[in-house]
Amino acid sequence: MGDQSPSHSDYSSSVDSTNYFQQCKYIHEVELVNMKLQMRILETHLETKDRLLRNLEDIIDEQETRIANMEDFIQGRTAAYTPPTVMLHGISALSLDFGSLSEENLRLKEALRAGHRKERINELLETDEDYESDMTSVSGEGESARNGNNDLMTQSAIVASKARAFIDEHQISRLKRCAEELKNEKDELKRLSQDMKDAFTVCMGEVKLLLESKTVDFFKVLMERYKAEMERRKTLHNQLVELNGNIRVFYRIRPLLSTRDQAAIRIDSMDEGVVHLEHSSGRKTSRAADFVIPTKFSQNEIFEQVSPIVTSCIDGYNVCIFAYGHTGSGKTYTMEGPSEDPGINQRAILQLFEAAQERGNDIEYTIKLSMIEIYNDKIRDILSTSSSTSSSLTLRRDDSGHLSIPGLECREVISPSDVKNVLKEGSTNRVVAATDANANSSRSHVIVRVHVHAKNNVTGSTTIGRLNLVDLAGSERVSQTNATGQLLKEAQAINKSLSELGNVVFALRQGQKHVPFRNCVLTRLLEDSLHGDSKTLVLVHISPEETHVCESISSINFAEKIGQVQMKGPNAFKRAESVRKSTRVGGKMESPHTTPKKTNK
Ligand code: ADP
Ligand code: MG
């Protein structure tokens, strides 16, 4: 049966040549090969079917033979039965055919797929036009078509590269144009920005000018108002002080120093402006003053009474505060005071500091201190350690017409501790000098002079105010001291200067044309601080002890002379009446203990 079947290997080799497609250039060639292959597949199928039919016929033949053999054996026509093997052989040959057939089919299918793939590739590669022209000139022009195609490809590549180059160039030029436009826009923006800047500068300049002119106007108005207000405040303060009198007299009666002492002086229980004195003889005298400081008043309360005129100094006014009274009446206690409870000197200067601070930064204040002692009508600098200046100085009138003491030490103080230190130094020097020159420090006048220089930074104006804090020498009468020689000379000098002071203050109070400033060093030294708008306060100190009644009366008379005590306030009539009565009761006013005339004699 194997011999009958066609050679399977021949068949397969005929269809196995897939190289066939490799040689195909065009689609029609591929299609041709495809057709051939399909034909071959059909032929192969037919051959295979034929072969199968033949095999089946063989098998049927074998089966029929076998059945016949079996019938023979069953019917006893044959002795033995031998099964045939031919059929099995036919079946195995058949299965082999099927196997090779299926493999062949697979190869054919693969060849077909390759053919289709190739066809599709050609379709894609060739343009329609090229293909058409190739088809028309297909006969014998295959090679030239291929070359044409190659040329086309080359051209296409060239065109593509040109196109790319063109695109690149186009892109570059477009980018360049964009860059140019951007540059132009940038320049335009720059110009605009500059224009705006210029416009802004011009506008700001105009606004500035406008503001300046407005500000200058506004500032001028403010300055005028400020100046007016400053002047108004000064005037009001001055009026307030003047209302109380530019020259005022206060009494201070110190407390009894010993419980054994008898008080001969008392303040009127109904009117604090009147004091009553009771002489040992029984004679009674009553006197009125601007103000009688109650005995219970503390140092601070007393200072509160004098502080308004101290404040005048910061406004450029000259101020004098005198402590008048006999030795032991409490002058130094009032002015200097104990360190734990200081007197007017320290409190006044500290108040100037406070007032300067309250006025703010607009006004720059400089506060300087000098300390002078007048002993035997001679000026001594008690802040100087130099023996020449501490011994004796002279008064000079400078070019501006002001009296000055050349060589006098003047210390600037910038803090409360400075003030305390300088005052303490002067006080110590005075005590040391007192032991050398005079036995009792109450035998000289001591002047603490405060110079307040104010510079208004807003208006540019400057003012100078002077505050003279004077602790006068004891006013006891010469006749009572039993002094002779140096002590008599000393006492006479003191009495003369106190009398001259009385005369000057009296003349000023009376508004006399001639004021006898030149009669002694004390009044000459204080000339600038006593006349004009100057404020003067005389604190007349009185001892309450019976033993000092005469001195007390003498001091009261002095106060009356210089003050011509004004009758003011609700109790003015009563006080005036009281004074009138006292004059009547006493027969006549006590005359001052000394007069210039008497001293001159
Ligand atoms: P003056 O300076 O007038 O000679 P002082 O100031 O030295 O007198 O005072 C004499 C004495 O009286 C001192 O011991 C002082 O302490 C005392 N004294 C003066 N005034 C007062 C007072 N208001 N309160 C208490 N003691 C005083
Ligand atoms: Mg004294």
pLDDT at 459 exceeding the cut of 90: no
> Ligand 1: does its nearest atom lie under 6 Å from the Cβ of 332?
yes
pLDDT, tens only, 143-197: 554 565 566 677 767 767 776 777 778 778 888 888 888 888 888 888 888 888 8
Most confident among 40-54, 158-172, 188-202, 385-399 (mean pLDDT): 188-202
Q: Any binding-site annotation on 276? A: no
pLDDT, tens only, 288-333: 777 888 888 999 999 998 998 898 888 888 999 999 999 999 999 9
pLDDT at 487 exceeding the cut of 80: no
Is the Cβ–Cβ distance between 513 and 364 less than 8 Å? no
> Ligand 1: does its nearest atom lie under 6 Å from the Cβ of 543?
no
Distance of CA 590 to the CA centre of its chain: 69
To which residue do tokens 């068949």 refer?
11
> Ligand 1: does its nearest atom lie under 6 Å from the Cβ of 444?
no
Q: Any binding-site annotation on 329? A: yes
Is the Cβ–Cβ distance between 275 and 542 less than 8 Å? yes
Most confident among 123-127, 174-178, 362-366, 537-541 (mean pLDDT): 537-541
> Ligand 1: does its nearest atom lie under 6 Å from the Cβ of 325?
yes
pLDDT at 3: 40
Buried b (16+ CB within 10 A) or exposed e, 178-213: eeeeeeeeeeeeeeeeeeeeeeeeeeeeeeeeeeee
Q: Could you tell me what percent of the chain has a pLDDT over 90?
A: 20
Q: What single string gives the DSSP state of each residue in 302-342? A: HHHHHHHHHHHHHTT--EEEEEE-STTSSHHHHHT--TTS-
Q: How far is the CA of 471 from the centre of ligand 1 (A)?
A: 12
Q: How far is the CA of 331 from the centre of ligand 1 (A)?
A: 7
Q: How far is the CA of 310 from the centre of ligand 1 (A)?
A: 23
Q: Any binding-site annotation on 90? A: no
Model confidence at 477, pLDDT cuts 50, 70, 90, reads: confident
pLDDT at 367: 94
Q: Whose CA is nearest to atom 5 of ligand 1?
A: 330
Instruction: Find the largest Cα–Cα distance for the chain.
Output: 216
Q: How far is the CA of 342 from the centre of ligand 1 (A)?
A: 12
Kindly give the number of the ligand 1 atom that is closest to the alpha carbon of 295. 23
Kindly give the number of the ligand 1 atom that is closest to the alpha carbon of 338. 16
> Ligand 1: does its nearest atom lie under 6 Å from the Cβ of 380?
no
Q: How far is the CA of 258 from the centre of ligand 2 (A)?
A: 19
Q: How far is the CA of 465 from the centre of ligand 1 (A)?
A: 30
Give the total residue count for the chain. 601
pLDDT at 419 exceeding the cut of 90: yes
Mean pLDDT of the chain: 76
First to last CA, the chain: 195
| CA separation for the pair 299, 310 (Å, rounded) | 15
> Ligand 1: does its nearest atom lie under 6 Å from the Cβ of 502?
no
Kindly give the number of the ligand 1 atom that is closest to the alpha carbon of 323. 3
Kindly give the number of the ligand 1 atom that is closest to the alpha carbon of 336. 6
Residue 224: burial class (beta carbons within 10 Å; 0-12, 13-18, 19+): exposed
Model confidence at 587, pLDDT cuts 50, 70, 90, reads: very low
Q: How far is the CA of 427 from the centre of ligand 2 (A)?
A: 11
3-state secondary structure of 381: strand
Q: Any binding-site annotation on 327? A: yes
Mean pLDDT value across residues 334-343 = 94
Is the Cβ–Cβ distance between 545 and 256 less than 8 Å? yes
pLDDT at 588: 25
| CA separation for the pair 2, 54 (Å, rounded) | 11
Phi, psi at 470, each rounded to 5°? -110, 120
Instruction: Out of 333, 334, 430, 445, give the residue to mutate to test ligand 1, the one with the largest number of ligand atoms within 8 Å of its CB.
Output: 333
pLDDT, tens only, 488-507: 788 888 999 999 999 998 88
